[in-house]
Amino acid sequence: MDRHGRLGQLGLKTQYLQAMGIQPWVPRDDSAAVNDNVADAPPVAARDAAAPAWADLEARVASCTLCGLHEGRTQTVFGTGNRQADWLIIGEAPGADEDRQGEPFVGRAGLLLNEMLLAAGYRREQVYIANILKCRPPNNRNPHADEVQCCHGYLQQQIDLIQPRLILAVGGIAAHNLLGTDGPVGKLRGTEHHYGDRQIPLVVTYHPAYLLRSPLEKRKVWADLQFARRIFNSTGRDI
């Protein structure tokens, strides 16, 4: 990529930082910014050996009746993104927009999540996005323990198939269920946690819906994303 192309990408990232309410630092020498560009899309595998497993899992989720949430859903919200992603983003549960569209993190919160990811150097399609629950709770209430338990196996299979190098837990519900704790997000931030037998690095940050209500907290999310990138860059290919 030539100098003008690098500067163009830097300008794109600057726009997204400004959309998050953050004044970006621009280096004097554009060569210093080359490694901080939006990440290149990973190569597409010629053949996805895990495709049958994904298809089977998605079909089982779509027909799931393990808990009462299936009675009020429009459709399940399985997950979206790159199935070989290095970053796995996990939120809490679908809302009304997600229930209608069948995709996690759409609407205003989804747009803000996209901006967060771009500020960290990733486009939405480069990561994988999922939720603790695959069905919308009534009136967007918090998930019940039995509902989380019914969905846990599905999420675990997604994690096993993706084998991410980093998990970003977005919001308290996701953090609490992944880490088995009830601590506030503010105290879980800034620490490298680990998930599962593979000890996948896990970083906690605020949910975009919370940021829409409390925009002054966006700077903390920017710090969380930089922290996540440092952890990710320090890990080897195998965890």
Contacts of 125 (CB under 8 A, 6+ apart): 41, 81, 82
Tell me whether strands 80-81 and 87-91 are parallel, antiparallel or unpaired: unpaired
Task: Give the start-to-end residue ranges of the domains of the chain.
Answer: 1-38, 66-234
Whole-prediction pTM value?
Answer: 0.82
The Cα angle at residue 191 between residues 149 and 155, in degrees rounded to 5? 25
Q: Which CATH number describes the domain made up of 66-234?
A: 3.40.470.10
pLDDT at 2: 47
- pLDDT for 152-178, tens place per residue? 999 999 999 999 999 999 999 999 999
**Residue 13 in this model has a pLDDT that exceeds 70:** no
DSSP H or E segment with residue 133: none
Scan for tokens 């019914």, then name that residue: 150
What is the rounded distance in angstroms from the CA atom of residue 191 to the CA atom of residue 29? Answer: 32
Q: What percent of the chain has pLDDT over 70?
A: 78
- pLDDT for 199-219, tens place per residue? 999 999 999 999 999 999 999
Instruction: Give the single-character DSSP code of 193.
Output: E
